Amino acid sequence: MPSWVLSATVFSPLAGAVLVALLPRRDGLLRTVAILTTLLPLALAGWLFWQAPLGEAGFWLTERGLWVPAVGIGYHLGVDGISLPLVALTAFLFPVALVGTWDAVRTRVKEYLVLLLLLETAVLGTFLALDLLLFYVFWEAVLVPMYFLIGLWGSERRAYAALKFFLFTMAGSVLMLLAIAGLYLATGTLDFLRLLGAELPAQGWLFAAFAVAFAIKVPLFPLHTWLPDAHTEAPTAGSVILAGLLLKMGTYGLVRFCLTLFPEVARAAAPLFMALGVVGILYGAAVAYTQPDVKRLVAYSSVSHLGFVVLGTFVLNPQGLAGALLQMVNHGISTGALFLLVGVLYERAHTRDMDAFGGVARVMPTFAALSLFVVFSSAALPGTNGFVGEFLVLLGAFRKDPRWAALAAGGVILSAVYLLWMVQRVYFGPVRPEVRTFAPLRPHEGAALVALVLAVLWIGLYPRPWLARSEAAVQSLVQRVASVAEAASPGWGGRP
Amino acid sequence: MVPWIVALPLAGALVNGLVGGRLGRRGTSLVACLAVLGAFLLSVAATQALVASPERPAQVVRLFEWIAVADFRISAAFQWDPLSALLALVVTGVGFLIHVYSVGYMAEDPDYSRYFTYLNLFVASMLVLVLGANLLVLFVGWELVGLCSYLLIGFWFERPTAAAAGRKAFVVNRIGDAAFVVGILSVWGLLGTLEFREIWRLLGEGGGALRGHPGLVAAALLLFAGATGKSAQLPLYVWLPDAMEGPTPVSALIHAATMVTAGVFLVGRLWPLFEAAGPVLAAVVAPVGAATALFAASVAVAQYDLKRVLAYSTISQLGYMFLALGAGAGHAAFFHLTTHAFFKALLFLAAGSVMHAVHGQIDLRHLGGLRRSMPLTFLGFVVGALSLSGIPPLSGFWSKEEILHAARAHAAGIWVVAMATSFVTAYYATRAAVLAFWGEPADPHAHPHDPPPAMAWPMVGLVVLSAFGGFLGAQWAGAPLRAFLQPLFGDHGEASSVAGAEVAVAVAVALAGVVAGWWAHRARQEPDLGPLGRALAAQWGVEAAYHRAVVRPAKALSQLLAERVDAGAVDRAASGLADLVVRAAAAVRTWQTGNVRQYAAGVLAGAVVLFAYWVLR
């Protein structure tokens, strides 16, 4: 498999963005071109997924080029079992989000599409970069389009939400930049593969700097308060991408950098992260329950679900990590779909207040059926993707300490509580007069939801292709953490 | 062949779900009923093969590897053995009759194909539950029947009570399910497998070295907690009475005959595990079952909603089954599970016929005198009620006798409770029959009549099964069911040649209940039970206590967290930090003086610091 595939995957949306920028302002044309563009990375990611060797722990496809040769900063992309599922998810969610929200944005369509395509390049780059400076550039590049997407096409409190999103993430980014600079000064390289074999100084501080940056992005309790605002105010496609992909940058970063580069510290800090994960699971669910705004409810459900990911990551065993990785994908699909549902409702009611709905299932039966699939996927019903991921995380947690699993299992109850409460208020009950006039599900909305539901069922019923592609990488990472930690007891801030 | 038993109803659900609207009512009914009938016929054929071989080895069909990471590997696999065969026959057999009944009952409903989609999906899910070859596949079925139950309770979702009841059922079940999941994890942590055959192999013969192991006890307790949710036992029974919001055939199939017995099935499926888990069976399962049996029967006495009477009756009868399991009499539990499926389904279908005839009226105070106008329904209800009461020679008598016998051999206290329950059961069953069918018609202008053939024939079938189903397990018939299940439960209580005197006492108690119920309501008047009556009508205050102790505090906590903690403290702290950044930035801005020498000094200072660090590190 040629290595240019990686660059092509990352930069094809950028090329599409340029094309869209050059085309005349005919909204239908621009949207069509943008969607067709996102099919390119989808096809390439599909090819990567198809070709991925099973049982290969390392980066099985890498691409190198010199970028700033004078100081040894390289252009380095690579894919392994940990990044592949997220690349596939990204490539899948962008076209789905664009199709599902076909004409939801009607002002400054060109700018909107250009920003979304730029965003896709940045997200894909984040997941594929193997050079820390390159990673940082992509990481920061995500911020800019997202800031404008919220700030320009968001709802009433968009300016506040956009600024809050930007400030929180920037605060983390600054720390991460310092850590990257420190790494470079200490080792003379920012190449991930070389760092793997290098002696790293001040691991505790470096870990902490990276971890805070990622924890804000996840977001981990108590750093999550930017998320409900940003999710709620963003336009639908923005929410889908924000919840589905941007949060995964945080969890991906925790796995890729915190765990891999600083295994000893990660092991020492694991109880803290597990505790924050479990608190997030329960706290997010509890807060979600009383939200009157359906979009805020979904946003807080993300806090809860991402708690499972963090818990699974830091139990440091194969099942937990594999579950966390799968749960990143699952959350992208399910919560992306939930935001799409909310978007469909918002398009018709122009409100997100649940009290304004009632009886939607009578007026839009197909939509209601698809919605139930999505809701139960989010509630981790067996047969859907959510169950496979959550169960693996719980299994991993149980191996670590049954008490973690018992606490986290409380999330299983709570997710049913808040999600079904939402279903009852929005979809069931007598049909309200405002709801009676809702237009039926439109073809593009249906197509996007059907695609997501198929993904839900695929991973729920036959997750093997996903698990098998990451199993070797997961096991080797778990071994790395276990063996290094056994070899030397870590000192906070010191060298082994 | 075994996977096809699941595949047929699943295919029926898919067809009706995707194109049901275009098939027309006749097409929808044909697809749904034939799918279940096919599954039944396949089950019969597969059972014949099982009966033919004396050892009845469990046959496992592995479909594909489902979830696999490192040393955890689980397949999607089905198992065919006597227990799954029995349950599959009950589910598809009774299920088929109720599908046919539904064709008549739901004939006027605008959401006809949606109904049959759910009903077929339920049968498929229940079959996954009973045929799963490992705990995780069982759990898939377990949760999917919960989903179907949710969808069917809330089938008429525009009624707020129906929507709320569906949600309540799912959430209460989820409490049990959370325990179930941790129980599954415990089993895996302890035994390293979730395959039933492996669990049997490792824990057969009393559990060997693991007998009474704390982990095993914990696992058994957690799994039993799951069972109390699905099978509506104390303390998680509260969802089942509300579940009567669903269409009546659904109550018959899901909330009486099949799904609610899943907890009993679970304990039977993991029989060696429960036997090896020390005191769990005797100290927890039997008392919970006995307490639930008496508690629910007593509440049934004071209900006016006929379906609620039957719902509490179901809870009570499930209690009997757990009591039997706890007493070590697995075969008795499953015998009663089978006969209960017959007579309770019959009672519900008769109740459905009543509702069908009197425009949805279900309040016993507004019924009466239906005996003459609805002879078949009357016959059905009386046969069901007498069978429920344990009057010989109806089916319920034989199975209940086995349970009472096991209870007596097990513990005197349990036996007394079981006998008391028997009296109360006969009392409330008779009360319901008298209030609904005797006396003068409540509405002299109405002309109720027996239902159309699609509803009548399934009732006839169930009348026959309720009357003669006792042959399946009765001692004098050679106890064929016990022999069939023998590979699973062994020859427990070989000496159960039930003594004549014991039977006489039990029958006398049941008859006394019938007579008391008749006497108290002969004039269609409710005897005044005073404070006891009020306590019974309020379910001894359980529902209200839950509301005070769980529901309201949980809501308040959620409110507090959302409004005070999250929007208050956490956000303010985090935003405060962000503010700090902004203010720091404002402060730093003053450094931007435009003075190049000052910048150079700064760069130099930084370089010195970094260099120093590089040297000294």
What is the SS3 assignment for A279-303? HHHHHHHHHHHCCCEHHHHHHHHHH
Residues on chain B touching A362 (C-beta within 8 angstroms): 157-158
Q: B587 pLDDT exceeds 80? A: no
Q: Is the pLDDT of residue A321 over 60?
A: yes
Q: Which residues of A touch B178 (CB under 8 A)?
A: 409-410, 412-413
Both tokens of residue B378?
Answer: 């009357």
What SS3 state is found at B194? Answer: coil
Q: Does pLDDT of B70 surpass 80?
A: yes
Checking if the pLDDT of B9 tops 60, the result is yes
In this prediction, residues B462-478 reach a mean pLDDT of 86
- Which amino acid, one-letter code, is at A107? T
Nearest Cα residue in chain A from B615: A186
**Cβ burial, residue B104 (10 Å; 0-12/13-18/19+):** buried
- Partner residue opposite A394 with nearest CB, options B144, B185, B570: B185
Name the domain count of chain A.
1
Closest-CA residue of B relative to A380 is B143
pLDDT at A403: 92
Nearest CA in chain A to B554: A286
**CB < 8 Å to A416, chain B:** 170-171, 174
| Bond preceding residue A95 cis, omega within 30 of 0 | no
pLDDT at residue A201, rounded to an integer: 83
Supply the pLDDT for residue B500.
82
Measured CA angle at B500 (ends B496, B506), to 5 deg: 90
Interface contact flag, A416 B72, Cβ < 8 Å: no
- The C-alpha atoms of residue B15 and residue B4 are separated, in whole angstroms, by 16
The pLDDT tens digits for A408-439 are: 999 889 999 999 999 999 999 999 999 999 99
Confidence at A492, pLDDT banded by 50, 70, 90: very low
Give the tens place of pLDDT for each residue, A341-393: 999 999 999 999 999 999 999 999 999 999 999 999 999 999 999 999 999 99
Asked whether residue A274 is domain-assigned, the answer is yes
Structure tokens at B553: 């505090």
**For residue A72, what pLDDT is reported?**
63
Out of A224, A287, A398, whose CB is closest to B561? Answer: A287
- List the helix and strand counts (H, then E) for chain B: 26, 2
Whole-angstrom CA distances from B140 to A45, A406, B130, B181 are 31, 20, 11, 11
Rounded to the nearest angstrom, the minimum Cα separation between B155 and chain A is: 10
Q: Per-residue confidence at A491, pLDDT binned at 50, 70, 90? A: very low
CB A429 within 8 A of CB B163: yes
Answer yes or no: is pLDDT of B434 > 60.
Answer: yes
Report the chain A residue with the minimal C-alpha distance to residue B70.
Answer: A318
Contact A424 B167 (CB under 8 A): yes
pLDDT confidence bin for A493, thresholds 50/70/90: very low
Confidence at residue B551, expressed as pLDDT on a 0 to 100 scale? 87
Instruction: Kindly determine whether residue A395 and residue B144, on different chains, have CB atoms separated by under 8 Å.
Output: no
Measured between CB atoms, which of B164, B170, B557 is closest to A286? B557
With beta carbons less than 8 A apart as the criterion, state whether A282 and A407 touch. Answer: yes
State how far residue B194 is from chain A, nearest Cα, in angstroms: 12
Mean pLDDT value across residues B455-465: 95
Q: Do B144 and A383 touch (CB under 8 A)?
A: yes
Alpha-carbon separation of residue B119 from A370, B109, B152, B584 (angstroms): 18, 14, 8, 64
Per the domain annotation, does A233 fall within a domain?
no
- What does the block give as tokens for A414? 């709570």
User: Would the CB atoms of B617 and A359 count as touching at under 8 Å?
Assistant: no
The predicted structure's pLDDT at residue B42 = 96
Amino acid B495: pLDDT: 46
Distance between B571 CA and the closest CA of chain A, angstroms: 5
Given a cut of 50, is residue B202 above it in pLDDT?
yes
Q: What is the pLDDT of residues B496-521, one digit of tens each?
A: 556 788 889 999 999 999 999 999 98
Residue B84 pLDDT: 94
The residue that leads in pLDDT, B212 or B177, is B177
pLDDT-derived band at B527 (thresholds 50, 70, 90) equals confident
Angle CA B437–B443–B448, to nearest 5 = 60
The reply to whether A38 falls in a domain is no
pLDDT for B146 beyond 60: yes
Task: State which H helix or E strand residue A63 sits in.
Answer: strand A61-68
User: Which residue range(s) make up the domain with A394?
Assistant: 269-496
- Look at residue A399 and tell me if it is in a domain: yes
The percentage of residues in chain B with a pLDDT greater than 90, rounded to a whole number, is 63
pLDDT digits (tens, 9 = 90+) for B218-237: 999 999 999 999 999 989 99
Query: Do A464 and B65 make contact, defined as CB atoms within 8 angstroms?
Result: yes
Evaluate whether residue A437 is within a structural domain: yes
The residue in chain A having the minimum alpha-carbon distance to the alpha carbon of residue B175 is A413
Task: Report residue B361's pLDDT band, with 50, 70 and 90 as the boundaries.
Answer: confident
Q: How confident is the model at residue B324 (pLDDT cuts 50, 70, 90)?
A: very high
pLDDT at A496 over 50: no
Res A494 pLDDT > 60: no
Mean pLDDT of A213-233: 90
**Is A451 within a domain?**
yes
Measured CA to CA in angstroms, residue B390 lies from A280, B272, B419, B511 at distances of 53, 30, 11, 9
Residue in B181, B577, B588 to test binding to A, most A beta-carbons within 10 Å: B181
Please determine, for residue B493, whether its predicted confidence score (pLDDT) is greater than 60: no
Interface mutation vs chain A, best among B63, B66, B67, most A CBs within 10 Å: B67
Judge whether residue B533 has pLDDT over 80: yes
CB B458 within 8 A of CB B352: no
Q: How far apart are CA B193 and CA A159, in angstroms?
A: 54
Is the pLDDT at B494 greater than 60? The verdict is no
Confidence of residue B36 (pLDDT cuts 50, 70, 90): very high
CB A215 within 8 A of CB A81: no
Determine which of A413, A427, A462 to mutate to test the interface with B (most B C-beta atoms within 10 Å).
A413
Element (H, E) at B222: helix B214-230
Q: Do B185 and A318 touch (CB under 8 A)?
A: no
pLDDT at B611: 59
Q: Does the residue A27 lie in any domain?
A: no
Q: In angstroms, what separates the C-alpha of A169 from chain B's closest C-alpha?
A: 10
Tell me which chain B residue has its CA closest to the CA of residue A221: B570
Tell me which residue in A359, A376, A471 faces B158 most closely, judged by beta carbons: A359
DSSP structural state of residue A58: S
In a domain, A28, yes or no: no
Q: Do A409 and B170 touch (CB under 8 A)?
A: no
Return the number of other C-beta atoms located less than 10 Å from residue A51's C-beta.
Answer: 11
Whether residue A485 is predicted with pLDDT greater than 90 in this model: the reply is no
Residue A136 burial class via C-beta count within 10 angstroms: exposed 0-12, middle 13-18, buried 19 and up: buried
Please give the C-alpha separations between residue B435 and each of B32, B200, B306, B361, in angstroms, as whole numbers: 36, 49, 10, 13
Which chain A residue has the Cα nearest residue B581?
A171
Residues from chain B that touch A421, judged by Cβ atoms under 8 A, are: 167
Q: Residue B348 — very low, low, confident or very high, per pLDDT cuts 50/70/90? A: very high
Q: What is the mean pLDDT of residues A257-286?
A: 93
Q: Count other Cβ atoms within 10 Å, centred on residue A160.
A: 15
ipTM over 0.90: yes
Residue B608, sorted as left (phi over 0), alpha (psi -120 to 50) or beta, turns out to be: alpha
Q: How much is the mean pLDDT over chain A?
A: 91
A-chain residues near B566 (CB < 8 A): 225, 287
